[in-house]
Amino acid sequence: MDAAKPDLVVARGLVTTLGDRNVLDGVDLAIRAGEVFVVMGPSGCGKTTLLRHLAGLQPPTRGTVTVAGHDLHHASPDVLHQLRLRSGMSFQGGALLGSLTVLENVELPLRENTDLPRGVIRETARMKLDMVGLLAAADQMPVALSGGMKKRAAIARAIALDPDVVYFDEPSAGLDPITAAEVDNVITKLNQVFGITMVVVTHDLPSAATIADRIVVLLGGKVVALGSREQVWNDPDPRIRDFIERRLRAEESRGMDVVAHLEV
Amino acid sequence: MTHSTIHGPAALDRRSVGALVADIDRALRSGARRVQLDLGSTESFDSTGLGGVVAGLRAARAAGAELKLKGLSRPMLDFFSLLSVQRLVQPERAPQRLDPVRRLGAFVEPMVDGALAVLRTGVGALRELLLGPFRGAPLRLDRTAIEVDHCAAGALPIVMLIAFLLGLILAMQAWVQLRVWGAEIYVADMVGVSVFSEIGPLMTAIVLAARSGSRNAAQLGAMVVGEEIQALEQMGIRPLAFLVLPKVVACAFAAVALGIVFDAVAVAGGGLFAATVAGIEPMAFVEQLRVALDLDDFLVAQAKTATFGLAVGVVGCALGLRVSSGSEGVGRATTNSVVVGIFLIIVIDAVFVALQRLGG
């Protein structure tokens, strides 16, 4: 929350073109180390695309993403690998490997990227599962998990390597309010205790209100607001007021215009 | 000595945790009942370091000893506040070992299940075909046409290539044997009879199993995983009528159509060899072929080929619809659709030949 924190992830002039449409249309933002940074906006505004660029999974058409001073999309494979090891990602559907148990999923990044003794990997993975409240499900296969459990397992896997930054794609989408609050709670705790930078894409306003240090609002691929939670909440821009008050312009023109075609 | 003290490293992380775990193990093995782990001088840590500490706690518990932690820093306590160490060091339930009978059961059960699923799908598809028209839901010709395009038209180049080369090969092998007796003309019998009654139907069906049976299994399996099958059922659309029957009918049709093309191209290949290398008059070859081939045999071969196609179609769809667990399951269903498909082709072939040649 103090502005003195250094920037960890910086996006400059991101433009992404899909066909003849600009999904992102000149996005500039800087994410500070140790903050919970929430990307908000309605469906189709480019949130997930932005997250993929930030996480280095998909290069933008134009513009740069720098992480700790390295240009992510022009880094050498070695540098990119090192940057990846210092970041984690929780995908929307969990993206757990179906052929491995929950515990093996969380162990996987440790097993493939470190040469730690088996017992240490196992206990570390079990600790991460206990942090997200899933220790009892450690030996289950992913198919046996509910949606909320899959997301929590994915979070445990994302923090397996003690990353500096974790990216979340819609962590509370499709969850009931109580489970969503649990996931929010995990995000907040991990941020506070480990100081992990959290980048959270969501359209869930209550969730954003609970966890965010700073919020960026995207509309039509452009940044329309960027600031602290309070700043964004009190922003007078009508587009933001509409979004926050869950009012969609299109709703207003919808209605009984079939009347014009009725014969009386 | 029953007491022992271990001092944690200044940085308890990935690099040092192995040595710490080894220290704790050594202390426990030397018979210490009470080991103290002093982390007072540990300034930094990561979660694998604390994972090592928990591994130590578990090892001590298993050895009937006690590991006492001392000098935990504030951040470490914060870390442990996110989880329950008691829960973590609980002894785990040993995985159950199956007795031999159960293990045999676990091996056989999926096979029996799979066989029943194939049977159910086959009977279900047949019912849709026969009863559908009375329910106002006859075979979907539009969807069948799409499947035929893939199964038959798509397979044409590879089937023709295989047929031509096999025709050449068969003629060559036969010629080498027959010319010893001056009986080169019987190359036509050799190629004609073997291709029309066995090689044509078998090769066509095997290509079909590899191309289309596997495709059907993978496609339906992915649809199960994506809940698309359930969505269809929920909308009141029967997957058997909408998806399976068009595929099965297309497979049977494709088998016969491709089989006939195979026969023709293979005989042409054999004839080309006979005419060019073996020096047999083309007209003599055709005449010999006409004598050798029998219309009844040809019709039986077509019935056989159609049955192969049905089996390939039903097996692929049945195994695809049985998928229950993600990408792993889709892969297994795809493999099994080819393996079981080819196995069934051979079994059906044996039954047909036995009935035709032994039954009278």
**CATH code for position B14:** 3.30.750.24
B94 is a domain residue: no
User: Cβ distance B312 to B213 under 8 Å?
Assistant: yes
Q: Could you tell me if B142 and B254 lie in one domain?
A: yes
User: What's the pLDDT tens digit per position in A42-90?
Assistant: 877 888 899 999 998 888 999 999 998 889 888 888 888 888 889 999 9
Distance CA A171, CA A182 (A): 10
For residue A109, the chain B residues in CB contact (below 8 A) are none
Report the number of distinct structural domains present in chain A: 2
B246 is a domain residue: yes
User: Cβ distance B164 to B268 under 8 Å?
Assistant: yes
Name which of A110, A127, A190 is nearest B88 (Cβ-Cβ): A127
| Residue B126 forms contact with A (CB below 8 Å) | no
A30 is a domain residue: yes
Distance CA B130, CA A208 (A): 57
Q: Could you tell me if B240 and B276 lie in one domain?
A: yes
Q: Could you tell me if A183 and A236 lie in one domain?
A: yes
Q: How many CB atoms lie within 10 A of CB A39?
A: 30
Inspect the interface and report whether the beta carbons of A127 and B328 lie closer than 8 Å: no
CB contacts < 8 A (A, B): 80
Give the distance from residue B93's alpha carbon to the nearest chain A alpha carbon, in angstroms.
Answer: 11
Q: Could you tell me if A82 and A98 lie in one domain?
A: no
Q: Could you tell me if B65 and B130 lie in one domain?
A: no
Give the distance from residue A157's alpha carbon to the nearest chain B alpha carbon, in angstroms.
Answer: 13
Distance CA A42, CA B44 (A): 42
Q: Could you tell me if A6 and A82 lie in one domain?
A: yes
- Could you please report the per-residue DSSP string of B238-295? -HIIIIIHHHHHHHHHHHHHHHHHHHHHHHHHHHHHHHHTS---HHHHHHHHHHH--H
Q: Is the pTM of this model over 0.95?
A: no
For A9, phi then psi, to 5°, come to -120, 125
A259 is a domain residue: no
Q: Which residues contact A141 (CB under 8 A, 6 or more apart)?
A: A98, A101, A102, B325
Q: Could you tell me if B238 and B350 lie in one domain?
A: yes
For B198, phi then psi, to 5°, come to -125, -60
Q: Could you tell me if A11 and A124 lie in one domain?
A: no
Q: Could you tell me if A67 and A191 lie in one domain?
A: yes
Q: How many residues does chain B have?
A: 360
Q: Average model confidence (pLDDT) for chain B?
A: 91
Inspect the interface and report whether the beta carbons of B88 and A123 lie closer than 8 Å: yes
Query: For residue A95, what are the domain limits?
Result: 89-162
User: Cβ distance B13 to B34 under 8 Å?
Assistant: no
User: What's the pLDDT tens digit per position in A77-130?
Assistant: 888 888 888 999 999 888 899 889 999 999 999 999 888 999 999 999 999 999
Q: Could you tell me if B153 and B31 lie in one domain?
A: no
Inspect the interface and report whether the beta carbons of B17 and A162 lie closer than 8 Å: no
Q: Could you tell me if B329 and B255 lie in one domain?
A: yes
Among the listed ranges A176-185, B86-95, B157-166, B262-271, which one has the minimum average pLDDT value? B86-95
Q: A162, A190, A219 — which closes off a domain?
A: A162
Give the distance from residue A159's alpha carbon to the nearest chain B alpha carbon, in angstroms.
Answer: 10
Q: How confident is the model at residue A35 (pLDDT cuts 50, 70, 90)?
A: very high
Strands B3-7 and B34-38: parallel
For A227, the 3-state DSSP assignment is: strand
Q: B36, B54, B89 — which closes off a domain?
A: B89
Report the interhelical angle of B200-208 vs B156-178 (nearest 10°). Answer: 150
Q: Could you tell me if A151 and A96 lie in one domain?
A: yes
Distance CA B82, CA A156 (A): 12
A200 is a domain residue: yes
Q: Could you tell me if B209 and B299 lie in one domain?
A: yes
ipTM of the complex: 0.78
Query: For residue B317, what are the domain limits?
Result: 111-358
For residue B326, the chain A residues in CB contact (below 8 A) are 98-99, 142-143
- CATH number of the domain encompassing residue A8: 3.40.50.300
Name which of A114, A131, A141 is nearest B83 (Cβ-Cβ): A131
Q: Could you tell me if B80 and B165 lie in one domain?
A: no
| Residue B11 forms contact with A (CB below 8 Å) | no
Report the number of distinct structural domains present in chain B: 2
B102 is a domain residue: no
Query: Comparing C-alpha atoms, which of A168, A165, A141 is closest to residue A154?
Result: A168
Q: Could you tell me if A121 and A176 lie in one domain?
A: no
Q: Return the pLDDT at A251.
A: 45
Q: A162, A191, A219 — which closes off a domain?
A: A162
Q: Could you tell me if B218 and B158 lie in one domain?
A: yes
Q: How confident is the model at residue B107 (pLDDT cuts 50, 70, 90)?
A: confident
User: What's the pLDDT tens digit per position in B12-42?
Assistant: 988 899 999 999 999 988 888 888 999 988 8
Q: Could you tell me if A100 and A132 lie in one domain?
A: yes
Q: Could you tell me if A9 and A80 lie in one domain?
A: yes
B319 is a domain residue: yes
Q: B30, B58, B89 — which closes off a domain?
A: B89
Give the distance from residue B343's alpha carbon to the nearest chain A alpha carbon, in angstroms.
Answer: 27
Inspect the interface and report whether the beta carbons of B14 and A121 lie closer than 8 Å: no
For residue B84, the chain A residues in CB contact (below 8 A) are 130
User: What's the pLDDT tens digit per position in A154-199?
Assistant: 999 999 999 999 999 988 887 888 888 888 988 998 898 888 999 9
- Could you please report the per-residue DSSP string of A127-153? HHHHHTT-GGGTTS-GGGS-HHHHHHH
Inspect the interface and report whether the beta carbons of A120 and B75 lie closer than 8 Å: no
Residue type, position B56, single letter:
G
Distance CA A94, CA A149 (A): 9
Distance CA B289, CA B194 (A): 12
Q: Could you tell me if B170 and B55 lie in one domain?
A: no
A260 is a domain residue: no
Please identify which residue in the block is written with the tokens 């992915």: B222
Q: Could you tell me if A18 and A143 lie in one domain?
A: no
B205 is a domain residue: yes
Q: Could you tell me if A16 and A46 lie in one domain?
A: yes
Q: How confident is the model at residue B85 (pLDDT cuts 50, 70, 90)?
A: confident
Q: Return the pLDDT at A255.
A: 62
Give the distance from residue B231's alpha carbon to the nearest chain A alpha carbon, in angstroms.
Answer: 18
> In the predicted model, is pLDDT for residue B164 greater than 90?
yes
Inspect the interface and report whether the beta carbons of B81 and A119 lie closer than 8 Å: no
- Could you please report the per-residue DSSP string of B68-103? EEE---HHHHHHHTTS-HHHHHSPPPPPPPPPHHHH
> In the predicted model, is pLDDT for residue B92 greater than 80?
no
> In the predicted model, is pLDDT for residue A3 greater than 60?
no
Q: Return the pLDDT at A248.
A: 46
Query: Comparing C-alpha atoms, which of A206, A203, A220, A221 is closest to residue A29?
Result: A221
For residue B62, the chain A residues in CB contact (below 8 A) are none
| Residue B47 forms contact with A (CB below 8 Å) | yes
Distance CA B275, CA B273 (A): 5
For A33, the 3-state DSSP assignment is: coil
A105 is a domain residue: yes
> In the predicted model, is pLDDT for residue A247 greater than 60?
no
Inspect the interface and report whether the beta carbons of B48 and A130 lie closer than 8 Å: no
Q: B54, B89, B124 — which closes off a domain?
A: B89
A7-18, strands of its sheet edge to edge: A21-32, A7-18, A62-67, A70-71
Q: Could you tell me if A202 and A77 lie in one domain?
A: yes
DSSP state of A196: -
| Residue B177 forms contact with A (CB below 8 Å) | no
Q: Could you tell me if B78 and B118 lie in one domain?
A: no
For residue B75, the chain A residues in CB contact (below 8 A) are 193
